[in-house]
Each structure stands twice: as structure tokens, then as C-alpha cells.
Amino acid sequence: MSPSAINGNSSNGAHQNGTDGANDGSTRRLTRGIYVPTVAFFNEDETLNLDTTRAHATRLAKTGVAGIVVQGSNGEAVHLDRDERKLITRTTRDSEVALQKYNGYGGPPRRPCALPEGDALAKMTDGFAELARCERELEAQQTLKA
């Protein structure tokens, strides 16, 4: 999975690939390679297990992947509350991982505004990975082949 970096606005409200969300013209290119989604780990009392989250991010980084997509493609973004999303993002960001980290988003209505705190989360990581756009493009290609 090689996600699109989502930051910077275009005329239609979509974001541009390769920018870091700042309107100062700075860019941050995606590193070529595989980006893996992380999962949210929980304790038996349903609180977030941040130690396991941190250890998992570090373990993934040591496998040689290009980057980590926090809350990407596993449903976390729509099932965690705002504070939990921020905490998972912060914990992964602060882990000892020298990789690009992206926040995933998706689910209804499949737009960045689906997560009101999106800008704050993007500033905590290297940007957003728009998983929904990749899904829509794949669906369209399959429809054309049929």
C-alpha cells in the first residue's frame, strides 16, 4: 500500500500529494515503498494499551517498511473517539521510529472533514493517507474491466 500524502488544498477542496499541510510552499515527498497500517491495542478494561502500541510501531519500523499509517484501514479512525485518536497518533509519533508516519482516515462520508481534528492530527504526523481515494480508484478500474 503506497498512500497519497494528503495536505495542501486544491481548487476543489482536495489536497495535493507531497505537501506537508503548510501553506508556505514546503513539500515532503513520500518515500517509495510499503506503508503499513497499525492497529489500536486495548487493555482488558477497554482502555488503550499505549505500551503495546508503541512497541508495535517500533517492531514494524524494524521490518524495513517505508512508513506507518496510523489508524489506517483497520477501522480505528471511526471507532475511536477524538481523544483516543489523538493519543494513538501521539504515542506512535513519539515512538522511536525513524519513518514517515501518516494518519489514515476513511469511512462515511470518506472526506477529510469526517474527522474534525484532521488538521491537528496531520500536524502530529507527516500528513494524511487517504485510503478511501485508493479504494475508489481500484473499484473504478474493476468496474471498467467487467
Domain architecture of the chain: domains with CATH: 5-145 (3.20.20.70)
E strands, 10-49, where?
Answer: 15-16, 35-37
Cell numbers representing residue 54 in the block: 508503541
Start-to-end CA distance of the chain, whole Å, equals 24
pLDDT given at position 3? 45
For cell 515527498, name the residue.
29
Give the separation between CA 58 and CA 53, rounded to whole angstroms. Answer: 9
Does 13 score more than 50 pLDDT?
A: no
Cell numbers representing residue 48 in the block: 488503550
Residue 69 backbone class (left: φ over 0; alpha: ψ -120 to 50; beta: rest): beta
pLDDT above 70 coverage of the chain, percent = 42
Cell numbers representing residue 146 in the block: 467487467
Residue (of 114, 133, 115) closest to 124 by Cα position: 115
| Cβ-based neighbours of 119, under 8 Å, separated by 6 or more | 21
Give the separation between CA 41 and CA 69, rounded to whole angstroms. Answer: 15
Compute the mean pLDDT over every residue in the chain, rounded to the nearest whole number: 63
- Contact between residue 71 and residue 107 where contact means Cβ atoms under 8 Å apart: no
Average pLDDT over residues 71-95: 78
Does 51 score more than 90 pLDDT?
A: yes
pLDDT given at position 137? 45
